[in-house]
Structure 1
């Protein structure tokens, strides 16, 4: 049958897809752990800066990501508290940035489209469900970019504080 035997091509494609999917899942796991660690430390620092704004403990700032249903809005609330508490005293009237809401919307919809794609039926209809994969990937990239902006800005806010009040990232 030769090099381009349909069975060989199909097996190669399946193997390649599995390998790429595994690498992507590994990268998502590592970046998720680092992101959650940053949220924990940032929440701890924000609480040290202004405990009247921080109503969420550092542990729950991370934990809400794993609670069904409540995980749809509680992590956003914790991030908003981190943002506002980090600005306390440096700005007369701290306000939440629209970057927070855009990040959260991208994050939630990426997870929804990812779930649709992963639960797709494996038959001829599967090609219909490939589009959610690309949408999920695009939204995940946007979410990651906005999260990096949030990290950088929050780090700037918290770095302006006296060092005895906050920890190190």
Structure 2
């Protein structure tokens, strides 16, 4: 009887030791992608409102119009834009980290740094938000993109590039506008700053559109992998 117990125990499967299997780290990003799509749409709408306010403020600076109504609209539009950007930024970073972890399971050889960098780069102004984010995003894209039947090469990463370039240009224009406005000593300088601000608003709208394309495409690729 004792021998049978030993034999039955010996054939019993024991729980695995060590780290969990890599694929257990996979989580679907689709829920986050849906939330991001909505939030990015709200950001685009608020940016368009801010563009209208900036345009009205620009026109009022010619000295022939009352600036007070446009100043109030500009303040309101700026507040709404910031309120929309904050939750969008948080959800985007969470999504970005999620797809980076998934990509590290699909193709770990594509990354030199750990998935924590998908969060850490957003604390590095401008360089982290552009160049470092682009590097991680292209790796995530390549890890999830299906191969072409003819060339056995990843699908074009144009959506990633379009998002990164438009987002970087929008942030740069916003920075330049702020510096110009702070240094302006006459209405001509303020009007020039407003023109750059209007360009920044439109670039942010374009970047939001490309971000939706990038987010939904990557999420779909990972969900079907």
Tell me which structure has the larger Cα radius of gyration: 2
Please give the per-residue CA displacement for 1:110-150, whole angstroms capped at 9, x wherever unaligned.
00110112221354120111111111111111111111111
Structure 1 unaligned spans of 5+: 1-8, 162-169
How many pairs does the alignment contain? 152
Q: Distance in 2 between matches of 1:134 and 1:156?
A: 34
Who is 1:5 aligned against?
none
Any runs of at least 4 consecutive aligned residues in structure 1 with deviations exceeding 4 A, and if so which? 9-12
When the two chains are superposed, the root-mean-square deviation of aligned CA atoms in Å is: 2.1
Structure 2 partner of 1:61: 118
Among 160, 184, 195, the residue aligned to 1:100: 160
- Could you give the per-residue CA deviations for residues 75-98 of structure 1, whole angstroms, max 9, x where no partner exists? 1000000101112xx323224411
- Is the CA contact (8 Å cut-off) linking 1:109 and 1:139 kept in structure 2? yes
User: Residues 111 and 70 of structure 1: is their aligned pair in 2 closer, same or farther, counting only changes over 3 Å?
Assistant: closer
Higher-RCO chain (CA-CA 8 Å, sequence separation at least 6)? 2
2:58 equivalent in structure 1: none
Length-normalised TM-score, structure 1: 0.80
The offset of 1:17, in angstroms, is: 1.7
Structure 2-normalised TM-score?
0.61
Aligned-pair distance for 1:156?
1.4
Residue 83 in structure 1 maps to residue 141 in structure 2: yes
